[in-house]
Amino acid sequence: MQSNSAEQVLDQDRTPLSSLQMQRLSQAVRGLSSSQLSWASGYLAGIGSNQVVDASVEPLGLTILYASHTGNGRSVAETLADSAVARGVSTRVISVSDFKPRDLKKEKLLLLVISTQGEGEPPESAQELHRYLFGQRAPKLEGLSFGVFGLGDSSYEHFCQAALDFDRQLEALGGKRLLPRQDADVDFQSTSTRWIPEALDIVEKQVPARQVQILPLSKEQVPVRHDRNNPYRSTLLESRRITTGDSVAEVRHIVLEIDPAVVSYSPGDSLGVLFKNSPVLVDEIIAATTLDGDTPVVVAGEALSLHAALMTRLEVTQLHPKVVTGWAELTGDGQLLALQGDAGALRRFSQSRQLIDLITEFRASPDAATLVGLLQPLQPRLYSIASSQDEYVDEIHLTVTALRFTAHGREHQGGASGFLAERMTEGDPLDVFVVENPGFRLPREGDTPIIMVGAGAGIAPYRGFLQQRRARQDGGRNWLIFGNRHFHRDFLYQVEWQRYRGEGLLERATPAFSRDDLNRAYVQDRMREFGSAVFQWLEAGAQLYVCGGRAMDEGVSEALLQIVQSNGLYTEETAAAYIENLRSQGRYQRDVY
């Protein structure tokens, strides 16, 4: 997202550079963070003023490495980098996906920011580094000093497990731990705000004084990066239902207007959506707690009314276990208090309820400040982008399933999906930010075949994939294996897939509709059915993509193992090694939620 903004700074009408020099400079700054641009600005200024650069002092004293699935890790890493630069620490910040694992042994000072997903796994972008560090080729790291900041969600069993694993392994390989590992929960910003100065106090003692004067870019020159703390204000252009009225789920096609000079994205990326909670639900919560919505409260240092806090700042549709345990203390209820000793039961209880269910079933009378202090901060929701900017230069498309369900005697809605589906109309503003997903990318070579597996709204990124392949006239073969409930009710983007088939862009389209007859078929069943062809495509160099829920991903993983075994005549062990090799080559990419 910074590249276009950075290029705007390079005004060709005023620059003394030639067009070729401008092009090279534009390419050089593309993708740099604000901290990297500031350092580069000072470095060039130093050269221009004939300052001497001491070659014996490494210009990049501190490396900040981040691996993130939702963008939170990148946010922490860039805030850390900006703070380091402000202190005069020579710094570079880099995504794990752009980092060569074997270069780790060259590092002297490293801070790793890493999130955890699934069953304690690192993000897809960090899988290669994880394999390297835990494999037979792992290097000795006696010269490395390191620190680890982990992001996770304590409502899951394996909280910050990836950070724990990396922290232990870096030490086992000889690295020196600069400071204890820091694990951050959903409210990660309060934790990172405290940890960053502590970490940099230690880092400053390790880094030699810089020999180049840093002259930061002015505020007008520094490209603006839009993230959860500084979202982009888009406009809703279209919201239409793409499932029939009698389908189980309401799925909507959302079109947002953007400025391509400010916002850029690639197929495979996600869009973070900031939303407001339902005013009806907020009123119910206030009534159930017998509080006054006009009561002033403070959230993250900001004074506002209780009603405004519940509408815009606090999580009320996703119930966190910490909220349940805190509410248990308020009520003194034996059933709730018993959950504190059973983590699994506590998670199941929380996942099946929203805040309104908890406070109406187990009554308490907290004051407004206590209620606010108990709740988690409102988190943006991420949606896979369903378009290519090569085809829709000033738009972003989403495929949104409106979450609705009945439980505990009341109707419930999803927070963001309810906001998008019911409370937004065309022309309304919406705050958003792009979350890059480097671990879910089209092949660089346009002639590489791809197999795209998805269920429900999990086919959204493949719409963007095919749009980009068509716009760039890529010659690679494309195979879509997709699933949903009913052919006539839930065939998402049916006309588009049929058009792509007619054009020859989509060579194969293999549907799996699970509720059209008694013989339920899912995407993994279709993969087994056409297992020979799947294996032939893989042998021909195809890349395999999987997007959807965790249960679907597990089914696809099992099916793939069986396909490789039976068609490649492998043992289970060698088939697993074959699949692992696909992952290490970037030919088996997953976007699982």
| Model pLDDT for residues 248-259, shown as the tens digit of each residue | 889 999 999 999
Bigger pLDDT: 43 vs 421: 421
Say which DSSP state 530 is in.
T
Characterise 550 by phi-psi region: left (phi > 0), alpha (psi -120 to 50), beta (else).
Answer: alpha
Q: Summarize pLDDT for 172-202 with one digit per residue, the tens.
A: 999 999 999 999 998 899 999 999 999 999 9
Q: For the ranges 23-32, 59-68, 99-108, which has the lowest average pLDDT?
A: 23-32
Cα separation, 140 vs 239, in Å, equals 55
C-alpha separations of 439 from 149, 270, 285, 295, 396 in Å: 21, 12, 40, 46, 20
Report the candidate in 336, 315, 316 with the shortest Cα–Cα distance to residue 325.
336
Domain residue extents for the chain: 58-204, 234-273+380-435, 279-374, 450-592
Mean pLDDT of 213-229: 60
Report the candidate in 453, 459, 544 with the shortest Cα–Cα distance to residue 496.
459
pLDDT of residue 51: 40
Q: Which fold has domain 450-592?
A: Rossmann fold (3.40.50)
188: Cβ–Cβ under 8 A, 6 or more apart, which residues?
Answer: 72, 76, 151
Cα separation, 192 vs 169, in Å, equals 23
**What beta strand segments (E) does 471-565 contain?**
478-484, 508-513, 543-548
The helix/strand/coil state of 177 is strand
Q: How many CB atoms lie within 10 A of CB 362?
A: 16
Q: Which pair of structure tokens corresponds to residue 559?
A: 């099916």
Checking if the pLDDT of 284 tops 50, the result is yes
Q: Give the strand pairing for 543-548 and 508-513.
A: unpaired
pLDDT of residue 83: 93
Q: Name the strand (E) or helix (H) holding 529.
A: helix 523-529
Phi, psi of 468, rounded to the nearest 5 degrees: -70, -40
What does the buried/exposed string (b/e) look like for 120-139 if buried means 16 or more CB atoms within 10 Å of the residue's CB?
Answer: bbbbbbbbbbbebbeeeebb
442 within 8 A of 250, measured Cβ to Cβ: no
Q: How confident is the model at residue 247 (pLDDT cuts 50, 70, 90)?
A: confident
Report the candidate in 257, 478, 288 with the shortest Cα–Cα distance to residue 387.
257
512 within 8 A of 540, measured Cβ to Cβ: no
Q: How confident is the model at residue 520 (pLDDT cuts 50, 70, 90)?
A: confident
Report the candidate in 493, 460, 465, 271 with the shortest Cα–Cα distance to residue 383.
271
pLDDT of residue 165: 96
pLDDT of residue 363: 95
Mean pLDDT of 11-35: 46
What does the buried/exposed string (b/e) look like for 99-115 if buried means 16 or more CB atoms within 10 Å of the residue's CB?
Answer: bebeebeebebbbbbbb
Q: How confident is the model at residue 390 (pLDDT cuts 50, 70, 90)?
A: very high
For the chain, what is the radius of gyration of the CA atoms?
25
Bigger pLDDT: 352 vs 8: 352
For the domain covering 58-204, report its CATH number.
3.40.50.360
Report the candidate in 178, 48, 164 with the shortest Cα–Cα distance to residue 108.
178
Bigger pLDDT: 146 vs 248: 146
C-alpha separations of 53 from 49, 56, 117 in Å: 11, 9, 43
Checking if the pLDDT of 215 tops 70, the result is no
For the domain covering 279-374, report its CATH number.
1.20.990.10
pLDDT of residue 395: 98
In the chain, the percentage of residues whose pLDDT exceeds 90 is 74
Mean pLDDT of 435-442: 93
145: Cβ–Cβ under 8 A, 6 or more apart, which residues?
Answer: 108, 109, 110, 175, 176, 177, 178, 206
How many angstroms separate the most distant Cα atoms in the chain? Answer: 79
Q: For the ranges 299-313, 348-362, 483-497, which has the lowest average pLDDT?
A: 483-497
Mean pLDDT of 440-468: 96
Checking if the pLDDT of 403 tops 80, the result is yes
Task: List alpha helices for 212-333, DSSP H.
Answer: 279-288, 306-312, 321-331
- Average pLDDT of the chain is 88
Checking if the pLDDT of 22 tops 80, the result is no
Q: Which pair of structure tokens corresponds to residue 47?
A: 């050269």
pLDDT of residue 223: 58
For the domain covering 234-273+380-435, report its CATH number.
2.40.30.10
The helix/strand/coil state of 181 is coil
Q: How confident is the model at residue 118 (pLDDT cuts 50, 70, 90)?
A: confident
pLDDT of residue 213: 42
Where does residue 18 rank: exposed (0-12), middle (13-18), buried (19+ CB within 10 A)?
A: exposed
Q: Summarize pLDDT for 84-101 with one digit per residue, the tens.
A: 988 888 899 999 988 999
Q: How confident is the model at residue 33 (pLDDT cuts 50, 70, 90)?
A: low
pLDDT of residue 59: 45
Checking if the pLDDT of 569 tops 60, the result is yes
What does the buried/exposed string (b/e) look like for 180-189 if buried means 16 or more CB atoms within 10 Å of the residue's CB?
Answer: ebbbbbbebb
Q: How confident is the model at residue 375 (pLDDT cuts 50, 70, 90)?
A: very high
Q: Which pair of structure tokens corresponds to residue 566?
A: 């039976």
- Angle value at C-alpha 111, between 107 and 112, nearest 5 degrees: 105
C-alpha separations of 476 from 443, 445, 472, 505, 536 in Å: 10, 8, 11, 9, 15
481 within 8 A of 512, measured Cβ to Cβ: yes
pLDDT of residue 39: 52
Bigger pLDDT: 25 vs 448: 448
Checking if the pLDDT of 299 tops 70, the result is yes
pLDDT of residue 217: 45
Phi, psi of 228, rounded to the nearest 5 degrees: -60, -30
Phi, psi of 339, rounded to the nearest 5 degrees: -65, -25
Checking if the pLDDT of 469 tops 90, the result is yes
In the chain, the percentage of residues whose pLDDT exceeds 70 is 87
pLDDT of residue 378: 96
**Fold match between domain 58-204 and domain 450-592:** yes
